[in-house]
Amino acid sequence: MPDTDALTRLRPLWQQAGLPAEALAFAHLAGADPVLPSSFAVGAAAQTSIAAAALAACELGHARGTPRQAVAVDMRHAALECTGWFSLDGRVLDPWDVFSGLYRCADGHVRIHANFRHHREGALRLLGLDPEGAQRSDAEQALLAWRALDFEQAAAERGLVVTALRRFDDWDATPQGRAVAAQPLLTLERIGDAAPRALPPLVDDAPPLAGLRVLDLTRILAGPVGGRALAAYGADVLLVNSPVLPNIDAIADTSRGKLSAHVDLRSDDGQATLQRLVADAHVFVQGYRPGGLADLGFGPEALARLRPGIVCVSLSAYGTQGPWASRRGFDSLVQTAMGFNHAEGQAKGDGQPRPMPVQILDEATGYLIAFGAAAALWRQQREGGSWHVQVSLAQTGQWLRSLGRVPGGLDVPRPGIADLAPFIETSASGFGELQALRHSAQLARTPAVWRRPSMPPGTHPAQWP
C-alpha cells in the first residue's frame, strides 16, 4: 500500500489532536493488509496507532528544539509487535485461565474473563458452582440454563467481567453502542489553567521524550503498552502498582524501559508518596475502574490542582458516556460485545464465533495513550493549561470498524516463530531471560530503545531518578 493511503488513516488522528500538518511528511508507512488472519484491518490499526505515537513524540521533541526526524513503521512488523509475543527463559506462557473463553448459553453465547482469581470465583459462584472443585465442563453445563443477556447482566451487577455475544447490528442498537458511536476516537480536553511548563532542553542525540516524567498507574495490557511506548521514546516512566493487586504474566514484556514501584494508596503514607511523585510529574496515566482513583483523591481535576500543567490520561473499557460507562471490561470481552467475534465467524463461513488474532483493541489503545499524552504535552507547551486525554477500548473498536473489512484476510496463516524471529530481541530482566519483539517505529535519528530492563513490581523505590 502506498504511503498516501496509510497517511489517509493517520491524518484524521493528527488533525483531531491539533498537531501541525507539516509533520506528517516525516511519516513513512509501508505494507498492506492482510498481515494477520482477520477480516478486519488489524495491520492498519497497529501501524496507524504506533506511527501516531512515535510521530507525536518526535513532534514534541521538535518543539523542544531538535530537528524533525523521519518515522518509519512497517505494517507487518507493527502487527507482529501487537501479538504481544514474549518468552521467559525460553518458555512461552499461556495467557488464558482454563475458565476464560466463550460458552454456549440457552439462546446464544457469553465470554467469561477469568484470568484473575476473584473474577473466576465470582463467575463460578454465580453459576452455583464450588470454585475449589469445579471443572470447565461444569461451567459449560451450567450456562446452558442461562440466557446470554441475563448472565451478562447478573455478572455486571456483581462487578464481574462477562459479555454476551452480539452481532454488529445488535450492538449498534444498544444504548451503549449508540453512545460509543457518538464519541470520537479519543478526546483531549483542557481542564484547568496553567502557564506553559518549561521542559528540559534537548540535545540533538537525545530521544524526544528525554527528561519527561510519566506516572503509569495501569494494569493488564492497554495502559502498560502505552507507558512502554513512552519509555521507548525516552521518558522516565515509573510504574506504580498496588502491593495487594495481582498482575498478569505480560507485565514482564510491558515493563521494558520502566522503573517499577509499589505504593499502597489505602494508607496515609501511600497517599503522601503519590502526591510527592505527582508534584514532579509531567504525565499521569491511569487505567483503573472509572472513578476508582478519583475516590482516592487522584482524579484529573484534583491532579490539575495539585500539579498545574499536568497531562492526565484515562483509560476505560466502554468510554465515558452511556449506561456501561462504569463497567469493567477487557479486550476479549469488548470484541465479543461489539460484534467482532460474530463478524469474524461469518467471514470465515462456518458461522462459529472467533476472536481476532491479536488483542488489537488493547494494543492500539495503548499506542493511542502514548499519542494522546505526547499531543497534549505539545498543546500544553503552546496553550498552557492542564489536560485530560480519554481513550477506551470500545472507541478503538468503533475506529477499527471504520477502517473497513479485508477480503480474504482470514486465509492468511497465523505467524509462527520463524515470522517473529527477525524482530525478536533478547535481554536480561528481573523475570528471567526475556525474549520479546523490538519496537516497530523506526526513528531516523534517535532509535526507540528501552534503556531500563523489565523488573518485577516493587523492585525500585517510589521516587524519580
Angstrom CA distances, 393 to 75, 119, 181, 361, 427, stand at 21, 20, 12, 5, 30
Task: Say if strands 101-104 and 109-112 run parallel, antiparallel, or are unpaired.
Answer: antiparallel
Q: Which amino acid is at 15?
A: Q
Q: How far is CA 25 from CA 28, 120, 262, 454, in A?
A: 8, 49, 42, 34
Place of cell 472509572: 290
Parallel, antiparallel or unpaired: strands 213-217 and 236-241: parallel
Cell of 104: 454456549
Residues in Cβ contact with 136 at an 8 Å cutoff, skipping those fewer than 6 apart = 98, 99
CA distance 390 to 321: 12
SS3 content of the chain, % helix, strand, coil (to 5): 40, 15, 45
Alpha helix stretches (DSSP H) within 329-410: 331-338, 340-348, 360-383, 393-402
3-state secondary structure of 208: coil
Question: How far is the C-alpha of 156 from the C-alpha of 128, rounded, in Å?
Answer: 16
Residue 381 backbone zone (phi > 0: left; psi -120 to 50: alpha; other: beta): alpha
> Under 8 Å CB-to-CB from 282, ≥6 apart: which residues?
197, 199, 212, 213, 214, 310, 311, 377
Per DSSP, the three-state class of 166 is coil
Contact (Cβ atoms closer than 8 angstroms) between residue 61 and residue 67: no
What does the alpha-carbon distance between residue 238 and residue 286 come to, in Å, rounded to a whole number? 12
Q: Give the C-alpha separation, 127 to 123, whole Å.
A: 6
Q: What amino acid positions are annotated as catalytic residues?
A: 362
Residue 220 CA: distances (Å) to CA of 84, 225, 258: 12, 9, 15
Tell me the C-alpha to C-alpha distance, in Å, between residue 202 and each of 22, 66, 188.
21, 7, 25
Strand 432-437 to strand 86-88: parallel, antiparallel, or no bridges (unpaired)? antiparallel
Residues contacting 269, CB < 8 A, separation 6+: none
